[in-house]
Structure 1
Amino acid sequence: MKTVGIVVEYNPFHNGHLYHAQKARESAQAEVVIAVMSGHFLQRGEPALVNKWARTRMALQNGVDIVIELPYVFSVQKAEYFAKGAISILNELFCDSFCFGSESGQLAPFLETLHQMEGSSALLDPLIRQYMGEGVSFPRAQTLARESLFGQQLPLDLSKPNNILGFHYIQANQQLAHPMEPLTIKRQQADFHEVTLGSHPIASATGIRKAIAEQKGQLQTIKPYVPAATFAELQHYLQTYGHFHDWGMYWPFLQYRLLASSAEELAAIYDVSEGMEYRLKEAARQSTGFTEFMQMVKTKRYTWTRIQRALVHILLHVSKEEMAAATESVRYTRLLGMNKQGRDYLNQIKKNMEVPLITKTAAFKESLAFDIKAAEIYALGLPSYSSHSLLQSEFNEHPVILT
């Protein structure tokens, strides 16, 4: 069977994601679409709106054949590591190709930019450190360093989030012993972080989440922008758990962790560096809520996303040492769901896989330690009557099978 991989978060699955899955299958002429999907905490350092099982059902009901979890140690990461984990998993599953969205829908600028930048890290890294020393954020320092080294001549605009991820997908793929075929499609309508809902049926996930928050969980506003299966899953989740997840739900736990930890303990946490620990502790003392806290911490040097990722690692108490060991390579693939076509494909390849394909949590508790901890903390955000149910689902839930 010919297969194409996609890297997703589905927070939540919307009409743009449906378009991506359909075009990926069409472009690759694939029989099987495999989605590697972030678990309960996401790349920008946020809790997912709904849990991974609900998002898996959304995907399977909208044309995806297999959903595999992107482990926590790769999902809550800057683009380089996020891409490394996702592309490695697709490769472990013997995907023939992978497909991502980009601003232009053209592959050539990615390949040309990668070629121009090959071997330049020895020159770029000192420039990045120099600009960061002047107080700018890491992403801005990267942009300035590239402009300083290459001028404005790079074929790819690396200020765009989709292009940044796509570039790192291509880069990670090139490092494989047997690279997959890269494919890209043009992003449709809404910008990556567009916060408003327009007249077109494709809106950004950011805009959809903002509309849900503004309507205090009411969903009618977003109905034109999501497939019917997504709308039904969101309604069911709200009825089951009473809440969608956001950072505000975790503020008491985060504030406790920040105040109870010494500056030295915080400095040992992954993604906490350059004295951030002192700023975090001071803001935790003065803030009455998460948004106020973030506004106090954010500076030109620390982007909102960078801070949020550090906060997730603080919440889960993940150290620099632990993360360094865990991100060396992908050590397992965890199945979240499949349809019949997906099951047939996995039966065909699983004996030849080099890492275990996990379908039962109990047998792999040690391997899944970070993901289990993430699921437990994620559940704590809910009221106690709902939290217990979600907490147990990490151990009781079997992969979703769409018949």
Structure 2
Amino acid sequence: MKKLAIISEFNPFHNGHKYLIDKAKEFTKTDLAISLMSGDFVQRGEASLIDKYSRAEAALDNGFDLVIEMPNFISLQSAEFFSYKSIELLNKLKIDYLAFGIENLDSEKFLEISAKIINNNELVEELTKNFIDSKHSFTEARYLALKKFLVVDDFISSNNILALEYIRSISKINPQIKPIPIRRLGANNQDLNIKDEKFASSTSIRRNLSGNIKKLMPYSSYQKLKDFQENYKIASKEKLFDIFKYKLMIEESPIKDSLCYEEGLDNYFRQLLKNNPSYDEFINLAVSRRNTKARVKRLMINYILNNHKYLNEIDFNFVKVLAFNEKATRIFRDIKEDLRIVIRKSDIENLSSDDLLIYENMVKASNLYSLLIERDFNSDFTRNISIKKTYEAN
């Protein structure tokens, strides 16, 4: 059975995501489409617009057979770690293809440039280190190193750099996985405004929720967004900030072991917090050449969730299922000797101590999200996951 995977946030699931999965399935002719999707907290260090189950169900309605949850300690890291740990998990699912979106270039040109960068990795790493030594953040240093190495700018975008990291991780973990880059239509990942009648970035959709976004999303995804908005509040960043302030300033819990921490940030944060800034004021004050907004926001959530650096060393061997159809049950049979499948609470009984640690951390993040949107706790245990009917012809 040939398996295609896409690493995703779907925050929310829009027409560009639908285009990506449709094109990827057309190119690869695979039997099963898998999404490894961020849970309720995403890579930019924010709570998702709608919950993980709603997004997973939208993905299942629009071409995927199986959606599994990415542990939040992975989703709350930079592109390098985000990609490596994601590919590491997907490799255990024995995927054959990884599809992802790219910008500005066609697929062949993108693969050609990516190969050039990877084949000259030592030089790129040296350039990156030089920029880090000049007080740039890793993300900014990588950007500047690639710009200097390539000379041209059309490759350089956050979306393309993440795609490059996917290819780099594949080359290290399992070169037999075939990367499938697919050029985005209508909008780039960082576009803030809606410019196209059919395609828009997730960012621009989130910024224009009161506008006419219905045409930019598949019907089921739009409906799930509206249903969620009717039942829950948008996650409160000020409430999240209050938890962070309490933990750092009153409880004085150590932050140094948290993922994304860099020496001196604890003292710097405490100085900024003395004047009781708002969330946005604090983020803007905390940003520097060395620390991007995303890094600061990721660090805050990692700190709240006790996501310590040792988590990167854990070799966990389970997948937490968010949505699946009848076709996906075939992969459960194929991988059950290598990976534990967690669909309901009773499935955690056979998890190892390391696996249980990761699982409980995922539940903790879900409960933090519940606090922010004013939802009942322990939704991971009360949300029913049903098997969606499908047809073998799909």
State how far apart, in whole Å, the 1-side matches of 2:112 and 2:344 are.
39
Change in 2 beyond 3 A, CA 1:147/1:61: closer
What does 1:183-332 align with in structure 2 at a 5 Å threshold?
183-212=180-209, 215=210, 221-241=212-232, 243-245=233-235, 247-262=237-252, 265-320=254-309, 322-326=310-314, 329-332=315-318
Matched, 1:170 2:172: no
Match among 336, 348, 367 for residue 322 of structure 2 = 336
Deviation of 1:251 (Å): 2.0
State how far apart, in whole Å, the 2-side matches of 1:23 and 1:354 are.
30
Q: Is the 1:128–1:141 contact (alpha carbons within 8 Å) kept by the matching residues of 2?
A: yes
Q: Is the 1:56–1:400 contact (alpha carbons within 8 Å) kept by the matching residues of 2?
A: no
Match among 318, 324, 341 for residue 357 of structure 1 = 341
Deviation of 1:279 (Å): 2.1
Deviation of 1:127 (Å): 4.3
Deviation of 1:185 (Å): 0.9
State how far apart, in whole Å, the 2-side matches of 1:198 and 1:151 are.
29
Change in 2 beyond 3 A, CA 1:14/1:259: same
Deviation of 1:330 (Å): 4.5
Match among 156, 171, 176 for residue 179 of structure 1 = 176
Q: Is the 1:9–1:38 contact (alpha carbons within 8 Å) kept by the matching residues of 2?
A: yes
Farther off after superposition, 391-400 or 18-27 = 391-400
State how far apart, in whole Å, the 2-side matches of 1:367 and 1:189 are.
38
Q: Is the 2:245–2:273 contact (alpha carbons within 8 Å) kept by the matching residues of 1?
A: yes
State the AA in 2 paired with 1:136: H
- Aligned-pair Cα RMSD in Å: 2.4
Q: Which residue of 1 aligns with 2:392?
A: none
Change in 2 beyond 3 A, CA 1:273/1:93: same
Q: Which residue of 2 aligns with 1:105?
A: 106
Deviations 1:96-138 (A, max 9, x none): 21111111231453354335434634x5545434423323222
Deviation of 1:400 (Å): 4.2
State how far apart, in whole Å, the 2-side matches of 1:309 and 1:4 are.
29
Q: Which residue of 2 aligns with 1:346?
A: 331
State the AA in 2 paired with 1:106: S
Q: Is the 2:14–2:217 contact (alpha carbons within 8 Å) kept by the matching residues of 1?
A: yes
State how far apart, in whole Å, the 1-side matches of 2:174 and 2:194 are.
43
Farther off after superposition, 129-138 or 268-277 = 129-138
State the AA in 1 paired with 2:99: C
State how far apart, in whole Å, the 1-side matches of 2:111 and 2:247 are.
41
Q: Is the 1:359–1:398 contact (alpha carbons within 8 Å) kept by the matching residues of 2?
A: no
User: Which residues of structure 2 form unaligned runs of 5+?
Assistant: 390-394
Aligned residues, how many?
Answer: 381
Q: Is the 2:110–2:155 contact (alpha carbons within 8 Å) kept by the matching residues of 1?
A: no
Deviations 1:65-113 (A, max 9, x none): 1101111221111112211222223322222211111112314533543
Deviation of 1:207 (Å): 0.7
Deviations 1:149-185 (A, max 9, x none): x3627xx855311211111111111223462121111
Change in 2 beyond 3 A, CA 1:65/1:164: same
State the AA in 1 paired with 2:212: T
Q: Is the 1:157–1:163 contact (alpha carbons within 8 Å) kept by the matching residues of 2?
A: no
Deviation of 1:354 (Å): 1.6
State the SS of the aligned residue for 1:159.
coil
Deviation of 1:324 (Å): 3.6
State the AA in 1 paired with 2:229: L
Q: Is the 1:114–1:167 contact (alpha carbons within 8 Å) kept by the matching residues of 2?
A: no
Change in 2 beyond 3 A, CA 1:246/1:180: farther
State the AA in 1 paired with 2:294: T
4+ long deviations beyond 6 Å? none
Q: Is the 2:248–2:254 contact (alpha carbons within 8 Å) kept by the matching residues of 1?
A: no
Change in 2 beyond 3 A, CA 1:282/1:160: same
- TM-score, structure 1 as length reference: 0.87
Q: Which residue of 2 aligns with 1:378?
A: 369
Q: Is the 2:66–2:325 contact (alpha carbons within 8 Å) kept by the matching residues of 1?
A: yes
Q: Is the 1:41–1:47 contact (alpha carbons within 8 Å) kept by the matching residues of 2?
A: yes
Deviations 1:182-221 (A, max 9, x none): 1111111112111112242111101111112xx4xxxx53
State the AA in 1 paired with 2:331: L
